Structures are given as structure tokens and as C-alpha cells.
Structure 1
Amino acid sequence: MSTSVSINILQAAAKRYGTEPLLVLPNGATVDLSKGYIPLLARYTFEDKAAQGLRKRKAGDKPENPIHFSALELVRDNSILLLTGPSGSGKTTFAKHLCHILASSGFSNARPLPRNDLGDIKEENWGASRLSPCYFSLSGTESLKRLADVTIPQLLGASGSQHEHLLIVLDDLQTAGDELISVLAKTLALIRERTYTRLLLLGDTDVLDHWSFTAVVRHELLPLLECQRREAVRSHLNLDPSTLITTGMGEAASNPAMFALAVQANHSGNCAEELLDAWLSSTHSQPDAASLLAERSYKLIFHNSLTTGPTEMSLAAFQPNPALRSLTVQRLLAARHLADLTPQIAVDLFRDQPHASDDVLRSCLSRLSSLHRSGVLVDGLLGGTPADAKRAALLVAGLIPLSAEIESKVMKLLLEIVENGDCSAGEREKAGRLLSKYGDPRDLTELAEVPAGSFMMGSESHPNSQPLSRVSLERFRIGVYPVVNRDYAAFVKQTSREWLSPGGKDPEKANAPATDLTWHDSRAYCQWLTERWREEKKIGLNEHVRLPSEPEWECAARGGRDETGTEGLAFPWGTDWQEHTANSDETGFNTTCAVGLFPRGLSPYGCHDMAGHVWEWCSTLWGEDMTMPAFQYPWRDDGRESLDAPDHVRRVLRGGCFSSPKLKANCTSKVRKHTWQATELDLTCRPSSANMPIISDFKLPENASALGRYTTNSTAPLFITFTTSDHPDTGESWCPDVRAALPRIIAAFSPSSAPEMAFVEVGQRPEWRVPTNVFRTKWNVNNVPTIVRFELSDGELKETARLVEGEILDEKRLRGLIRNNQ
């Protein structure tokens, strides 16, 4: 058979896909693929694409509704695409419908498509060249090898000679086994050489989540929207527009395979097990027929090694429904049978056939829990080896009610998965979500110590990071983790500050980085946190929380390493990129996750998530030109740390985000953003602190004569700095003179040899302006900031010098005041 005939055969097969049955109606009539296909959407939105990890929002802006891409549009826009979804999510149906249309009439017209359940409609348009579809369903490693070594090279050769543009579809990728990546690499290399050939890969999320596909665009399918299901039921059952639709509206029926059962059984589909039982009752009324079908599925899954991919079942004896070919339905049937067997059989299957058993056991546990019979099985699952126990914890956590003792054990196991890093990234991500729902016990506000010293800042990887230069820093502390949702939510609750983060209140994201924060949000949070931590005695009264400067952030990320790798990059863990070290583009999460899931990516000072995950604000200015930083390296004190620069001057962001490749997810890459702009997915702040010898218990007395009890050295002067109270909304002083002078004051009083000093806040602008306030009448303070020096004279502390407002900016005069030569 010639290859050109093979292309024709594949085309002819694709045309026939449209007549394959898709749905069975309650009256037994069938709806074929061409009439019953519901367009699938992906989790990826138009805003995701426009933002590229950096969303824009001004204060007061309301979040836009998510407009999801369709699966078809993602194929149109990407030459190589991996679409994943759970079993029954419609991957094969989509692929066959796509191939059918391409082989038949083609996509001639745009069509309106619901993009969410909020009523947003947007046209779906193919807009790409005509492609000849070549669909292949894999059935194991050998089938992929034959395709990669023989079939696909021949097809590409023939298409070149015939000037045909191909769409090659590889379905059921999860069946290819451990050699998937190495075998697939051959095909990927060939496709990348062909400008007009596209490759669509499809597979189950649960399996492919454990694999990393280099330079392959990856997206996950959404479940069916309620509006999609409602319209399909109304259309296929010929219901009046005013009819209240309940069929297929339940959560379980959002899976397309389960929706097919719900339609035939005329069932809501709230619970998968209830839906399956209702479908069996309506379609298998003969004695023992349902039990026989359940037993058959059990044997096929566990004894014939049919653990993945579609199973061709003999359906002649039963009322056929195409959804029976879906592994998700087979697993539910197998679980129905397993629930009637002894618990030890289920435990043995869990340990001997882990990939085959997990979903079956979940359904089995749900059935047993409803009968209050799940305890023995849970004990058995958790009682194996440490590795088995961790898998069991992932299986039972959040699935069914657990005793307090078992729940405590499960939480401990989930914490081990998160902290040890010895499970797959997908398992750790799931453990992080489950731990969040239980209440993550980790101290996510922990601070890491960064000692005083110098480090090499910059790299040769980008002009904006050059030249390399040595920078010296005082000691400071910095957050071990990015600020997480649960901590920022406490600030929002207490202050009523606006926060539009879509995941901010998600119980599975409480331990994920807080996002959608402007620079001003971050600073206000730091100011609030300063007061809170002082009350909790987490920091001293001589410390304050703030955003890190750019050098502080880079030092905490890379430590004292001077060298960079072959690409001129530096990472928290070393000079070369390593897998399983960061939530970056290479990992494929494409969203935030619990913090601290990548212990191999820890920085030298013990900081997590400093490469990838979320972009992080720094205090440092970038400049007005978005393409070129106004403040070049080497870093120096030239105004780039000014806190009162206008909002049109951009600030620096560091670290990269979950969609960043290694060229951005590192210690030296940086981008810029306006201070009023926020993102939904990529920003957070890291608290850091600086030391000054501040008198922690200072309270301003009635007069200077009572100051003596605050001095520890009778010959040393005492200093009082009268300053403003920070504004609760901005987190900074309302007075520009204070904002300008504060960095100089901190620098002057931070050295270990500096004298003691007390801060006195004069309040907000309205109370400060009252002529009779105590600071003006009793202490003669009429300007802020004011620094007053008191010294012992004739047995009494008296004022001997002071600096006010702009005088403090004069470094010589400030140094003279402290050294007593003013």
C-alpha cells in the first residue's frame, strides 16, 4: 500500500467519524457525532494570553469575566499542542469531530460560542489553512514506536510531494508507557521541520501530569458548562424554551461521558455513583445484568491489564451507550463490583496496580462511606509502606468523612509529601491543595536571616542585568515564602482594602501566593504587618516590614555565588537549570500552587519559590521607558529607591512566574510594571526588616526632665525622631519630607555603633495641623520630621540640638548631630 493511499484512507475514515453514535436518548434513539458534538473549552483564557503572566489592572477596575479559548482555537494557534483532561472529558470526541470536519466540508463559517456560564458569547473561527487529518489512537508503546519510526515519516514525505498540509493526531498518549518522552521526541523533531504540519497530542491528565514535554504547548480541557448541557438537553429532547432543565445539570454530569449517561437515564447527575446506578436501572432491567456488567468491567481493568485507553466491549447483550467505552464509566462499574468484595482485595489492588486502582478505589470508598462501611478499607490503605501511605493519603483526603485520628494522620502524610519533595510534582501539587483545605500547619510567615556582606549582582544573560558588580548590604531578614492568600486575606478583612484576586478566597489556595496586588497594596500590607508582628513580638519595635530592594531580593535568591552557568544564568540552587526545582513553564502547572512545593529549588538562605511561581515586587524603580531601565547597573544609591516617585514611573519585578521559561525564572532576570497595575496571577511581596537601636518601650513623657529613665548610659545622648503616622491606605507617610528623610534616618541609626533613638508619631495630617496639639505646645515641634538630641546637663536631660525637614537630608549635618559636633 502506498503512503499516498494511506493518506486517502485516513481521510475517508475521518469522514465516517461523523456518523459514529455519540448520545442515546431516553427513547433509545441515537445522536451521531456530527449532530451531538458540544464544542469543548480549555482552562486557558484570552486574558491569560494577553497577560503572558503579567496582568494589568488599575485600582478600582473590576475583573473581567473569563473568556475561555475553545479546543479548536488552540489547535489553530499552535503547531504542536498537548490537550489533557480526565477520562471521559471528550478528548477523543473532539479529535474525531475536528478530523471529520476537516475531511468533509471544512470550517467555512464562524459560529457563536458560549465562553463561560456568565452569558459571554464569542465567535469561534478556524481561520487556518485546510489540513488533511491523520488520526491515530495509541494502544501501547509499540504502536507509538511504529508511528514514530515508520508511519509518520512516510506521511510527511508523501505530504511534501503532494503539497498537502497535515494535521497528525495522536490520541490516548497515556498508553505509551515509560518510553513516551524518548519515542515522541523523534516525531516532535520531524514536525518542527515542517512549517505546514500540525501535531495534536491527547491524553489523560492523571497520567501525563507526571511527564514534562519540552517546548510543547500544553492546555487542559474544561468540563462542560451548564449552559452547554442545558442547550443540548433542550435541543435533543425537543423541550420548550420555558421548560426547567434538570437532566444533566449536576456536577458529575459536567464530564461528557457522564453527561451521556445522564441524558439516556434522564437523571440530574449530581453524584457519579448515583448517576451510574440510575442509568443501570433504566437500561439493564433484566436480572443480574447490571452486576454482570460491573463484574465484566472489574475483570477487564484488573485482570486483562486494560488500565488505560478505550476498551472495546461487547455491548450486543446490553442497550449500548457509546459512553461505556470511556474508562471513567468502566472504573465506576468496576468500583460497584469491588464494593461488594472484601476490603483486603481492594487494598491488594491499590498496592499491586496503583495506576489502575486509584479512581476505582475513590468510587468504591464513596459507595462504602454512604453505607458507613469505609473504615476498614481506609485503615488498610494507610497501613502499608511509607510510600503507599502517602498515596493513600492523597486518595482519601477530602473524599469522605474521616475520624479525628485518621484525619490527623492524613494531614501529617500530606505535609511530608509537600516538604520532602520525593513525590511527583503533580502529587505534591495535589497534596498542597488538600493541605490548604485542612489548614496548612506550616509557618508561612517565617523569616530567613541574610547576614551583612557583599555579593555579585547581575549576569551576562541580558543587557538589563549587566554589568556584573559587587554590592554590599547590611543584615536583613526576608520571607522564607511568598506572602500567601490566607495571610493577605487577614489584612483585607481588617482593613476592608479592595482585593480582586479570583483565587484569594479559594479554600484550596489559602497556602498559595497572594496575587492581584499593586505595588501600593504590597506596601500597605507591609505597614499593617509591621504593627501586627510588633504586637505578636515576631519582630522588635526597632524593626519594620517593607518590600525588599532589588539587591536584597537577588542576594536572598542567589546567596554568595559569584559564578553563572553556561547561559549566563544564576538560579537559587546553582548555575545550571534542573528539573523539579520550580513552578515554571517547564513544570507545566500553568497556575499558582501551594508555596514550598519545590524544596530542591531552595535558595542558599532557605527561601522558597524565588524562581518562577509569581513575579515579586521590589521597592526599586525601573523608570518610565518600559523597554530600557532608567537606572542601570551597577546598583547604587542614586534615587532608584525613592518611595515617592510618581505612579507613571515603573517599579521592578523579580523572579519570573509559573509560565516563565528558565530565561526568566532565575535570580537575575527582571521586568517592570506601573505601581498601580496589578495581576491576577503573578505578584506578591516579601517582607524584610532592618535593625536600628530603637527604644522599644518608649512613651513620650510630659516633659524632657522625665526622659532619664530611657537612657542606659548617662554620658550618651538620647535622640527622638518626631515623624508622621503612615496612611492606612497607602502604607506610607502623608508627608513628602518624611518620605524623603526616612531612608537617611534608617541608614544613620542602623550601624551597631549608633546611639539609641525613639520614634514618636505625631498622627495623621488633620490632627497634626491642630495648633494646640501636644507636640507643638510642650515639645516645640512644628515641622516633621524633626530629630532632637538630648544630653545630661546638671543632672537633667536637656535639648542640645535638632534637625528639621530638609536639614536631615544633609548627610554631613545628620552625621554631625549623631556625633555630637553639630
Structure 2
Amino acid sequence: MTDTKDDKASLRAKLLINTKAFGEEPLLSLPNGAVATLEQGYIPLLVNFSFEDKAAKGLRKLKDQAEPEPAVYFSALELVRDNATLALIGETGSGKSTFAKHLAFSLAQGDIPKNDVVRNDQGAVHPEEWGIGKVLPIFVKVTAGLSFYTQLAHAAPDLSALQEPDEALLIILDGVEAAGREASVILEDAAAFQLHNPKTRILALIESQAAKRISLPSVFARHELLPFLKTQRLQAVTRFTGCAPAGNASVLSKGAANPAQFVMAMKGGGQEDTTEGIVDRWLEKLTEDEKTADLLCGLAYDSVAGHSDDGGLFPVVRARQLLAARYLAEKAPEIAASQFTKDPDLWTPVVLSLAARLNAKFTSGSLIEALVASGDLRGVLLSAGLLSGQSPLQQKIMPHLLDIIERGLLSAAEREVAGRIVSRWGDTRDLEALADVPGGTFTFGSSTHPNSAPPHCVEVAGFKIGLYPVTNRAYAGFIEETGRLWQSQDRSNAERQSAPATDLTWRDARAYCDWLTGKWRSHGRIGTDEIVRLPTEPEWERAARGDQMEEGAAVVYPWGHLWADDVANSEETGFNDTCTVGLFPKGRSPYGCYDMAGQVWEWCTTLWGDDMATPSFRYPYWLNDGREDRDAAPSIRRVLRGGCFSSGKLKACCTYRGSLEPDGFWRGNGFRIVVSNKSH
């Protein structure tokens, strides 16, 4: 009779054998007819998280006004290494499962080799290191109707026995979106499991459309996979074929940036520069006659539409979606619109590819009209993204987009898309509107952080403050009139005009206020006894928290004392960038101000001191102790408030204090204005 120890060893051996088998799975077909396995053909994936983001110092001193350095990105592997709980988001075909299987395979082999990985198209290369030690991978293909614990038990029976004492655990949840409405529950259970098992890591892989509506537990770091760089594709082709892709420009085109489409381009060859051209060329190589190609496209459509459950013909979802789009190109557009409303996540890539095919024939208008006519807000949002140039449909769609933004409809990620489109079309909201903040005595500071303590009472006079941070469009007007230098990649980006102006020093913000004072006086918007300026620290906090009192250890937010979902562009939201202002109406302050938690750190007039960690000007706040000296030395840091898009919920609040030198700037800091009497 086999003893228990032998049974456990057998279970572990079986688990590792199954995981090692991932390495032999076919990954891509080479032009010479050979097939590269996952072990042979894997290309490291990058994420939308840069070295600058990681260095809380993503803060740069403005010395010579040099152009910002190109972003240098982390790899997906490094994000798994650095986060105990991580959600990697990617569109269909982005390589999520391939990455996870390669990681599991490498860990089962016993080691992840150190590799040099290209980090951007400008040629930055850094070694990719794991350095965690012994890790047991558990690969879970998520299915609907089963709890996290049930799925884990199916993947790894008797898990506690499988794991060796000196071994960490990596649980990979592939395809979380398959759980449907239970996806958030599965992630919550996974987070709880990790909390009680600190040697465990959780990696959740989620399709990007579904991820817009899946609520992630706050402990999860959330990052998006980047498409293949052109440099990565060039290196891959050279590695697989032994020469540069002289006769296959398709692999270097924008359409081949998606990994699944890169595989198609490798097989199809040619000079195609669009996704649809790559698909057609690939299909031509695959079938060699139009009738068979049409048959395959019909089968792919049936699979995506749920008329057939045979996914084996094209196991990659992206391939089925793109072929379904080709099939629908000759059908009534209402068919695609109807399918989209049933399952927007699955059908968005189909509709986008279909629109590209119809647009090439100048017939995409009927598809856009069908989506608008469906009455589905997601259909309206998608249709807005398909419009190019001026169109009468813009006037019909714009009120729906503004409704999505102002009422907080759909998910934050979907509102972010709506915000970009509204910005591009010309945002009709008054983004220079002011809120009236009454004077009075209020509780200032908090016991939740030493630099913000002690809470005490401060009196301020009444003032007006911007409902929104100063936007790119508003600041660009200042630049156009004054010629002041501004190193911002968003300056001329039409989709970012309604996002906060960033990469601004304290002196830049002050200069804007002085300029706006003259402009608004000349227009009669403010009186001759009023000025535009930055807020003092108490004014900023008053506008953010109102009359909310200190309540024990609770953090004070603009909306109350408890963190909530969908209230701020903070680390928990996962944008890792600024967004159109006003997307989080549930997070407004008591005086109606938007984006006072997260989004961008906002400059105040108040001085901090010369030590980044500890302020020289501590609380209680005294107006006449020199902390409001406008002419302090450049080494004296100025206060920043509110947190930014990469700040967690303990910093994206009403009371946490940040700081930076007056000549420092970063893509995470901006400002909002105050209007007051000269004497205040």
C-alpha cells in the first residue's frame, strides 16, 4: 500500500508534469512552415508602468528645460515579482495566457533565467530578474459557476501538502472574466486567501473590456499589458528567421502590435499595414481559396455568437473575433449592433474591426447609426469612438457622452473613454467654473499621519476656488499668449485637452495665475480688487473637506470618512495617468469641487521646508511664521495636496501633505486656482 508521503509526491509530480507541458504548446507558425513552441517563441511582455512611475521621485527638477526622457517600462514578470496580488489587464490576443503559461512553465522547471529585455522603441535595455527563489505555480483556468476555493481545489488537490516548507506559491487565475458577475467575488476570495497565506502570490488575468466593470479589491495592483514594441517584433523576426523582415513589412505595422495579430502577420507575410489586411493575408495563406475562407469566417461568427461551442478550430479568441468581423462585412449592420448589445465585452473587437472594413468602403456610417439607434449607452460610446472628422451624429451623441460623465454612468474606465472623446470634440462644460467657499473656522489637519498632526482649528476668509484643476486647454491659452516653455506631451493632444495640465513647476502655476488675473479683469469676470492665485494650504483643505470633523483614526475624504468605490482617480482605479476632469461625481467635495482626491497633486502657496520627509513648517498652522513667503529660496519645498493617479487611498485624501521644490515638475502634479480679495 502506498503511504501518504508517496501519494503527495505523486500529486506534486503530476502537477509539475502538467505545468511543464505548457512549454511544448505551439505558439506561432514560422514562414518556413516550422512551428515555434511556447518555450522557444515567447517574447517578454511589457506593462504600462514605467521606471519613473515606480520612483516616487518621478519628479524632475526644471534645470535646462530638456525634453522628458522616453518612458522605460517594466515587464509583466517584474510586476508579478513586486506585487503579492496583481491584476494584469489586456485585450484579446494580448498574450495574457501565453505569459502566464510561460511563467508557470519556467517556475515548474525550477528557474527563471535572467534576460536582457528591451524597454522602449528608443533602445533602452535592462535585465529582467526574478530573484524570488523557489515558487510552486498553480495554474487555474477560471470557469463560471465555481468559487475560488473550488477551482483552486480542482487545480491543486491537497494544496497544503503539495507546497514544500521553503517554497512560495503563485496562483494564476487565467480568464477571470469567464466567471461573469461572480468575478469580483472570486478576486475577493483570492485576496483573502493571500492575506492568510503571506507566502502566496495571486496573479489575475482579465480581458480589458470586462476589466472595465469588474470591481477589484483594493489590495490588487492593476496594470495593463502593452502591445509589442516595433523593436520587439523586429528582434523576434530576426531571431526566428535569421534575417530582418525585408519582405514582410506587415510584422512591423501597427496592426501587428497585438501579439495574436503578430502571429498572423508572421504567417501571412506581405506589406499589409492594417489589422484587416493582415487577417486577409493570413487567411489567404491558410485556405488558398475564397470559398473555404468564407466558410471559416462563418464558423468563427457562429462561435462568437454562441451558435456553436466549437472553439477548437480557432482556439485564439482574437482570431475568431477578427474572422467574425470579416463575415459581417457583407451583412446588415443591425446584426452586429444586436450582438454587441448582448455582450459588449466579447463583441467590441468584432465591431471595431468591422467598422475598419466598412470605413475602407466609406460605408461605416450605417453601422454607427445602428449602434446609436440601439439605445445602449455602451453602443453609443463605441459609436462615438468610430466617428472621424465632423459629423452630424456628433450633435446627437454629445449629450449622451456628457450624461455619462456628469452622472457617473457606466464604469470609470468607460467614462475615461467618453472624456477623451468629449475633449476631442470640444468640451462644452465650463471647466473654469468656480465654487464659493464660505469663510469660517474649521478642523484642519489629521492624526492619521505625523506630518498632518495635530488636528486643530483654523479660520479662513471666504474665497472662490476652481471646480476643476486647471486643464491642458486652459493652460495652453496662457502658453500661446506668453510663449512660456511647457514640456508636456499632452499639450497638443486633442483627447487630453480636458485633462489637468501637468509637468508644471510652482513658478509656472503662479505665472498662470498672474496672467489670468489680468485676463479676467479685462473681461469683467473678477473685480479690480480681486486676484487669481494658488490656494493656501488651509484654503485647499477647507474646499476639500468642508466642515467634516476628525473621527478617530478615520481618514477624511471629500465625500466622507470611508473609502468608497468609483470616487477618485487614485491608484485603486488603475488608470496610472490623469483623465478628463470631473469623471468622478460621487467624489465631489462639500462645495462641489471635483478631483480633490487623486488625479493630480495640487500646488499650494504654503512652504514645507528643505527636507522631503519632514516639514520644517509643522502644525499648528500660523499665518505669520514665514510659511507663506512667496520669495523663499529655491531649495525650500512647496506644499502639494490631494494625491494623484498613482496615490493610494491613504494619500488621495483631504489631509495628507506632499511637497516638491518650486522648480520641480512631474506628470502627476498640477494645480487649481483661487479667486480672493487682494487683502486675503
Q: Which band: TM-score by shorter chain?
A: over 0.9
CA distance in 2, matches of 1:229, 1:44: 20
| Aligned-partner Cα distance in 2 for 1:25–1:153 | 38
Q: Match of 1:199, as an amino acid?
A: I
Q: Does 1:166 align with 2:163?
A: no
Alignment correspondent of 1:570 = 556
Alignment correspondent of 2:143: 139
Counting only pairs closer than 5 Å after superposition, residues 338-737 of structure 1 correspond to structure 2 as 338-385=328-375, 388=376, 390-401=377-388, 404-561=391-548, 563-565=549-551, 567-638=553-624, 639-680=626-667, 682-691=668-677
- Note the alpha carbon deviations across 1:11-35, whole angstroms, 9 max, x for none: 1122222222111123322122222
Deviation at 1:85? 0.8
What is the SS of the residue equivalent to 2:222?
strand
Give the SS at the match of 2:120. coil
Does the aligned pair in 1 maintain the 2:48–2:225 contact within 8 Å?
yes
Distance 1:649 1:305, change over 3 A: farther
Deviation at 1:123, TM superposition (A): 1.5
Which letter does structure 2 place at the counterpart of 1:326? V
Give the residue type in structure 2 aligned to 1:358: T
2:98 aligned partner:
93
Task: Classify 1:488/1:59 alpha carbon distance in 2 versus 1 (closer, same or farther; 3 Å).
Answer: farther
Match of 1:175 among 174, 178, 181: 178
1:256 is aligned to 259
Question: C-alpha separation between the residues in 2 aligned to 1:556 and 1:523?
Answer: 19
1:239 to 226, 236, 243: 243
Q: Could you give the per-residue CA deviations for residues 229-285 of structure 1, whole angstroms, max 9, x where no partner exists?
A: 1121223233269x5762311111000000000010103452212221121122212
Quick one: distance in 1 between partners of 2:416 and 2:308? 28
The verdict on how the C-alpha distance between 1:507 and 1:468 changes in structure 2, with shifts beyond 3 A counting, is same
- Equivalent residue number for residue 190 of structure 1: 193
Q: 2:156 and 2:191 mapped to 1: Cα distance?
A: 11
Is the 1:504–1:515 Cα contact (8 Å) retained in structure 2?
A: no
For the pair shown, the structure with the greater C-alpha radius of gyration is 1
Asked if the contact 2:250/2:273 (under 8 Å) is kept, the reply is no
Deviations 1:742-789 (A, max 9, x none): xxxx35xxxxxxxxxxxxxxxxxxxxxxxxxxxxxxxxxxxxxxxxxx
Q: 1:129 aligns with which of 106, 129, 133?
A: 133
- Alignment partner, residue 3 of structure 2: none
Q: Does 1:214 align with 2:213?
A: no
Matched residue SS, 2:515: helix
| 2-structure distance, mates of 1:370, 1:245 | 22
Once the two structures are superposed, what CA deviation does each residue of 1:174-202 show, in whole Å capped at 9, x if it has no partner?
Answer: 11111122233333323333343322221
Q: Deviations over 1:34-61 (max 9, x none)?
A: 2211111111111111126x52323325
Paired residues of 2:337 and 2:374 also in contact (CA < 8 A) = no
Distance 1:594 1:461 in 2: 30
Query: 2:122: which partner in 1?
Result: 118
**Deviation of the 1:519 alpha carbon:** 0.9
**Conserved? CA contact 2:368–2:386, under 8 Å:** no
Given the superposition, is the C-alpha separation of residues 157 and 507 from structure 1 closer, same or farther in structure 2, using an over 3 Å criterion?
farther
- Residue 724 (structure 1) aligns with: none
Question: Does structure 2 conserve the Cα–Cα contact (< 8 Å) formed by 1:343 and 1:377?
Answer: yes
User: Structure 1 residue 34 and structure 2 residue 39: aligned?
Assistant: yes
Q: What SS does the corresponding residue of 1:201 show, helix, strand or coil?
A: strand
AA in 1 matched with 2:55: A
Structure 2 CA distance, aligned partners of 1:498 and 1:549?
Answer: 26
Contact 2:174–2:205 (8 Å) recurs in 1: yes
Query: Which residue of structure 2 lines up, in the alignment, with residue 313 of structure 1?
Result: 312
- Partner SS state of residue 583, structure 1: coil
User: Which amino acid is 1:547 matched to?
Assistant: L
Q: Give the direction of change, closer, same or farther, for the CA distance of 1:5–1:640 in structure 2 (3 Å limit).
A: same
Change (3 A) 1:185 1:153: farther
Contact 1:56–1:677, Cα closer than 8 Å, also in 2: yes
Q: Which amino acid aligns with 1:40?
A: L
Secondary structure, counterpart of 2:436 in structure 1 = strand
Per the alignment, in what secondary structure is the counterpart of residue 142 of structure 1?
coil
Gapped regions of structure 1 (runs ≥ 5): 315-323, 693-745, 748-822
Give per-residue Cα distances to partners, 1:54-78, cap 9 Å, x unaligned: 5232332532221111112222222
Q: Name the residue aligned to 1:51.
A: 56
Q: For each residue in 1:570-622, what CA deviation from the matched residue of structure 2 results, as whole angstroms up to 9, or x when unmatched?
A: 22122322211111122222221110000111112111000111111100111
Residues 201 and 40 (structure 1 numbering): CA distance in 2 closer, same or farther, change over 3 Å?
A: same
Say which SS state the counterpart of residue 660 (structure 1) adopts.
coil
Change (3 A) 1:590 1:346: same
SS of the counterpart of 1:404? coil
The 1-side partners of 2:467 and 2:260 are apart by 44
In structure 2, the residue matched to 1:296 is 299
Q: Between Structure 1 and Structure 2, how many residues are aligned? A: 672
Distance 2:457 2:50 in 1: 43
> 132-141 or 394-403, which moves further after superposition?
394-403
Shift of the 150–277 alpha-carbon distance from structure 1 to 2, 3 Å rule, reads closer
Paired with 2:21 and 2:135, the residues of 1 have a C-alpha distance of 17
Matched residues in 2 for 1:141 and 1:60: separation? Answer: 59
Cα distance in 2 for residues equivalent to 1:559 and 1:189: 35
Contact 2:247 2:269 in 1 (8 A): no
Q: Residue deviations 1:196-223, cap 9 Å, x none?
A: 3322221212112322232012211111
Alignment CA distance shift 1:279-1:245 (3 Å): closer
Q: TM-score normalized by structure 1?
A: 0.78
What one-letter code is carried by the residue in structure 2 that aligns with 1:618?
Answer: C
Query: 2:36 aligns to what SS in structure 1?
Result: strand
Residues 468 and 168 (structure 1), Cα distance of their counterparts in 2 relative to 1, 3 Å cut: closer
CA 559–36 in structure 1, closer or farther in 2 if over 3 Å, else same: same
Residue identity matched to 1:685: F
Conserved 8 A contact 1:548-1:619:
yes
- CA shift for structure 1 position 122: 1.2
Cα pair distance change 1:133/1:576, threshold 3 Å: closer
Partner secondary structure for residue 545 of structure 1 = strand
Letter in 1 for 2:610: E
- AA in 2 matched with 1:166: L
**Which region of structure 1 is more displaced relative to structure 2, 450-459 or 613-622?**
450-459
Alpha-carbon contact 2:298-2:324 (below 8 Å) kept: yes
Is contact 2:233–2:252 with CA below 8 Å preserved after alignment? yes
- Letter of the 1:328 partner, please give it: R
Q: CA deviation at 1:139?
A: 2.9
Identity fraction in percent: 42
Higher RCO structure, 1 or 2 (CA under 8 Å, sep 6+):
2
